[in-house]
C-alpha cells in the first residue's frame, strides 16, 4: 500500500516508455518517485516494435512488462490507478478515486488513444495487419495490397506517401469526405483507387482478406492503414491553461519538455513532435535529469 503522505520528489503519470524511463532515471538518483498508471495504453497494442534500438523485434507489451520489472530494482513506488485531476497549491496535488498525492514535480506521460471506425473483427487484426501509424508500421505494408481508410485530407496525403515508400497497390476508402478535384486527379495519376463508402467488417480469419462495405461491396486487401487520428489522454490536466499548438491540440513544451505550467512536464504523444516509443523514452530520460538538477537547486 502506497503512503499518501510520503513526500515524493516527482510523480509520474503513465507507464509507457516515456514514464517508465523517467522513473528509472529519477529513482537512480535515489529520488522518491511514484508512478501511477491505469494499465492498457497505446504501446501495449504494438504487436511488433522493430525500430527500438537493441531490440530486433519486441512487442509493446513485452517492452512495458520489462520496464515494470526494471523499476522494481530502483524502489519506484507504483500503483495501478487512474489519475482523475491535478491541481496546484504550493505543490501539485494528484487526485485519484481514493487518494490525493503531492509532489513539486509532475511528469504527464499518458499518451493518446486511437480513433477507430466501428469495424467487426477489428480486434483480430489490430497491430498485426490493421495499422494506424506510418512511422511504426508503414514498413510492414511493403509490397502488399493496401487499403487506406480515412475521413480527411490527411488520408489523401498519406496515400501518396505510402505509394512513394511502400506499395503500388493502394485503394483509398474515404468515409464522409470528398477531396478537392485537383487531389482526385493526383490520386488518379498515382494509380490510387478511390472509393467513397463506409467499412463495416474485416474479412478473413488468420489472414486479412478484405473489407466489407455498408452497401455489401467488398474491397480486397492484405493490410489496412487507418487514418482517423487520435485523442490525447489529458482530461486530468483540465485545470491548467496549458499552451497548446495552433489547433489547440498538442501540448507545447520548452526544450526540457516543461509545459507552460512550471514544474509540470509532458512527454510522448501528449506533446508536439513525433510520437515513437524510443523518442518518448529519450524524453523521459531527459526530463528526469532536468528535474533532478532542479531538485539539487531547491
Ligand atoms: C498499434 C500501434 C503500434 C505501434 N508501433 C510502434 C512501433 O513499432 N514503434 C514505436 O516507436 N512506436 C509505436 N507505437 C507508438 C507508441 O506506442 C507510442 O507513441 C509511444 O510509445 C508513446 O509512449 P507514451 O509513453 O507517450 O504513452 P503510452 O505508451 O500510450 O502510455 C501511456 C500510459 O498512460 C496510461 N494512462 C493514460 N491516462 C491515464 C490516467 N488518466 N491515469 C493513469 N494512467 C493513464 C495509459 O494507460 C498507458 O499505460 C505504436 C502505437 C500503436 C497504437
Q: What is the pLDDT of residues 137-158, one digit of tens each?
A: 999 999 999 999 999 999 999 9
The answer to whether the beta carbons of residues 261 and 242 sit under 8 Å apart is yes
| Interval 231-240 mean pLDDT | 98
C-alpha 260 to ligand 1 mean position (Å): 23
Name residues contacting ligand 1 (CB within 6 A).
13-19, 36-43, 45-46, 49, 51, 60, 82-83, 109-111, 114, 127, 132-133, 136-137, 233, 236, 267-269, 275-278, 280
Q: Which atom of ligand 1 is closest in space to residue 17's alpha carbon? A: 25
Beta-carbon contacts of residue 29 (< 8 Å; ≥ 6 apart): 288, 292
- Closest to 42 in 3D by CA, of 156, 127, 121, 157: 127
Report how far residue 282's alpha carbon sits from residue 28's, in angstroms, rounded to the nearest whole number. Answer: 16
Q: Measuring from atom 7 of ligand 1, which residue has the nearest CA?
A: 136
Q: Measuring from atom 3 of ligand 1, which residue has the nearest CA?
A: 46
Task: Give the pTM.
Answer: 0.95
At what angle are helices 277-297 and 17-27 packed, to 10 degrees?
A: 30
pLDDT per position as a tens digit, 43-88: 998 999 999 999 999 999 999 999 999 999 999 999 999 999 999 9
Q: Measuring from atom 44 of ligand 1, which residue has the nearest CA?
A: 37
Task: Answer positive or negative: Cα dihedral of 175, 179, 184, 190.
Answer: negative
CA of residue 169 relative to chain centroid, distance: 28
C-alpha 44 to ligand 1 mean position (Å): 7
pLDDT per position as a tens digit, 10-56: 999 999 999 999 999 999 999 999 999 999 889 998 999 999 999 99
C-alpha 249 to ligand 1 mean position (Å): 17
C-alpha 181 to ligand 1 mean position (Å): 37
C-alpha 27 to ligand 1 mean position (Å): 22
Task: Give the mutation target among 23, 25, 80, 111 for probing the ligand 1 site: most ligand atoms within 8 A of CB.
Answer: 111
- Closest to 78 in 3D by CA, of 131, 183, 1: 1
Report how far residue 167's alpha carbon sits from residue 161's, in angstroms, rounded to the nearest whole number. Answer: 10
Beta-carbon contacts of residue 267 (< 8 Å; ≥ 6 apart): 18, 19, 22, 107, 108, 109, 257, 280, 283, 284, 287
Q: Which atom of ligand 1 is closest in space to residue 83's alpha carbon? A: 42
Task: Give the mutation target among 51, 64, 78, 110 for probing the ligand 1 site: most ligand atoms within 8 A of CB.
Answer: 110
pLDDT band, residue 6 (cuts 50/70/90): confident
Amino acid at each position: 500500500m502506497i503512503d499518501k503522505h510520503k513526500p515524493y520528489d516527482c510523480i509520474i503519470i503513465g507507464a509507457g516508455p516515456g514514464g517508465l524511463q523517467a522513473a528509472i532515471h529519477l529513482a537512480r538518483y535515489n529520488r522518491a518517485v511514484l508512478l501511477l498508471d491505469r494499465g492498457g495504453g497505446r504501446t501495449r497494442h504494438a504487436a511488433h516494435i522493430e525500430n527500438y534500438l537493441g531490440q530486433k523485434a519486441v512487442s509493446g507489451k513485452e517492452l512495458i512488462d520489462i520496464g515494470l520489472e526494471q523499476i522494481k530494482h530502483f524502489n519506484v513506488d507504483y500503483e495501478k490507478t487512474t489519475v482523475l485531476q491535478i491541481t496546484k497549491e504550493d505543490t501539485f496535488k494528484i487526485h485519484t478515486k481514493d487518494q490525493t498525492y503531492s509532489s513539486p514535480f509532475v511528469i504527464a506521460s499518458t499518451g493518446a488513444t486511437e480513433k477507430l471506425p466501428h469495424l467487426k473483427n477489428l480486434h483480430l487484426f489490430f497491430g498485426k495487419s490493421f495499422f494506424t501509424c506510418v512511422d511504426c508500421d508503414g514498413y510492414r505494408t511493403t509490397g502488399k495490397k493496401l487499403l487506406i481508410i480515412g475521413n480527411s485530407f490527411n488520408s489523401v496525403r498519406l496515400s501518396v506517401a505510402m505509394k512513394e515508400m511502400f506499395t503500388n497497390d493502394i485503394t483509398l476508402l474515404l468515409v464522409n469526405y470528398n477531396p478537392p478535384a485537383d487531389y482526385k486527379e493526383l490520386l488518379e495519376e498515382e494509380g490510387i483507387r478511390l472509393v467513397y463508402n463506409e467499412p463495416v467488417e474485416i474479412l478473413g480469419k488468420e489472414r486479412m482478406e478484405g473489407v466489407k462495405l455498408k452497401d455489401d461491396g467488398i474491397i480486397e486487401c492484405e493490410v489496412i492503414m487507418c487514418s482517423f487520428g487520435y485523442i490525447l489522454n489529458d482530461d486530468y490536466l483540465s485545470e491548467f491553461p496549458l499552451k497548446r499548438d495552433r489547433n489547440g491540440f498538442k501540448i507545447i513544451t520548452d526544450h526540457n519538455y516543461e509545459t507552460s505550467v512550471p514544474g509540470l512536464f509532458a512527454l510522448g504523444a501528449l506533446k508536439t513532435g513525433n510520437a515513437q516509443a524510443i523518442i518518448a523514452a529519450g524524453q523521459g530520460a531527459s526530463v528526469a535529469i532536468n528535474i533532478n538538477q532542479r531538485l539539487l537547486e531547491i
